[in-house]
Amino acid sequence: MIPGRWFWPAFGLMVLLQLALPGRMILQHEQTLRQGTEHRFKTAPVDPYDAFRGRYVALGFPDTQARPSAELAALDEAERQRLDTLYATVERGDDGFSSLGQLLLAPPAQGDYLRLPADRVSLMPGDGPARVDLPFDRYYLTEGLAPEAERLYRERRSADAETGQAWLLVRLRAGRAVPAGLYIDDRRIEDLARTPGD
């Protein structure tokens, strides 16, 4: 038990520490949204009956493979099991859309990258391409827009599967990724859901 005179200062310190961690996380999220580099990732069709789960869109991506670096490919299975974090470079293609490049053991010296928990990466034996579960597989919406956005997403993705494009705008900063907008045919899904008759 803490003596009476130390109780309130200790309690105040505990409260400050409990507020500091979520405050830091919110600050990092907002800094990434404001200062992060924009990347566009094409989305792939998902099960149309399960695309919306509550207030978010479940996102799929057609290209989620990364090439392991020579250093990573040289690790044996036991060493790979001990990995906690991996880093994937992000490369922008000629079409303006981004994809994963190389999978590394440490952050690259320059360029954009994703910091990934090792359990989100499925490494193949040797230097075969690794499959990555991207950390931005959900796009959250306000509750009022979700039903109309769900209808639009289903209609556009099934009707325009070959001509229409759906993509996610993601901002990257220091390995963190924050979804900044879901687009269908270059229009934000929120705007489409608000526009009647569209």
> What are 59-113's pLDDT values in tens digits?
889 889 999 999 999 999 899 999 999 999 999 999 999 999 999 999 999 999 9
Last residue of a domain, one of 133, 152, 173: 133
Using CB atoms within 10 A of its CB, is residue 140 exposed (0-12), middle (13-18) or buried (19+)?
exposed
107 token code pair:
């952050």
Instruction: Find the domain containing 129 and state its range.
Output: 64-133
Please tell me the distance from the alpha carbon of residue 139 to that of residue 149, in angstroms, as a whole number: 11
Q: Do 146 and 125 belong to one domain?
A: no
Q: Do 87 and 126 belong to one domain?
A: yes
Q: For the full predicted model, state whether its pTM sits above 0.85.
A: no
User: In sequence order, which residues have a C-beta less than 8 Å from that of residue 85 and are 6 or more positions away?
Assistant: 115, 116, 117, 118
Tell me the pairing of strands 85-92 and 113-117.
Answer: antiparallel
Last residue of a domain, one of 108, 133, 158: 133
Tell me: pLDDT of 52 over 70: no
Q: Do 69 and 110 belong to one domain?
A: yes
Q: Do 87 and 49 belong to one domain?
A: no
pLDDT score of 158: 64
Q: Do 3 and 92 belong to one domain?
A: no
pLDDT score of 87: 98
Q: Do 49 and 99 belong to one domain?
A: no
Last residue of a domain, one of 98, 133, 168: 133
Sheet (strand 176-184) strand order = 37-42, 166-173, 176-184, 187-188
Q: Do 171 and 87 belong to one domain?
A: no
Looking at the structure of the chain, the number of domains it has is 3
Q: Do 77 and 44 belong to one domain?
A: no
Tell me: pLDDT of 51 over 70: no
Q: Do 90 and 126 belong to one domain?
A: yes
| pLDDT one-digit tens code per residue, 100-158 | 999 999 999 999 999 999 999 999 887 889 999 999 988 888 877 877 777 777 676 66
Q: Do 139 and 196 belong to one domain?
A: yes
More confident residue, 146 or 159: 146
Q: Do 123 and 169 belong to one domain?
A: no
More confident residue, 80 or 162: 80
Q: pLDDT category, 164, cuts 50, 70, 90?
A: low
Q: Do 88 and 52 belong to one domain?
A: no
pLDDT score of 115: 98
Please tell me the distance from the alpha carbon of residue 165 to that of residue 163, in angstroms, as a whole number: 7
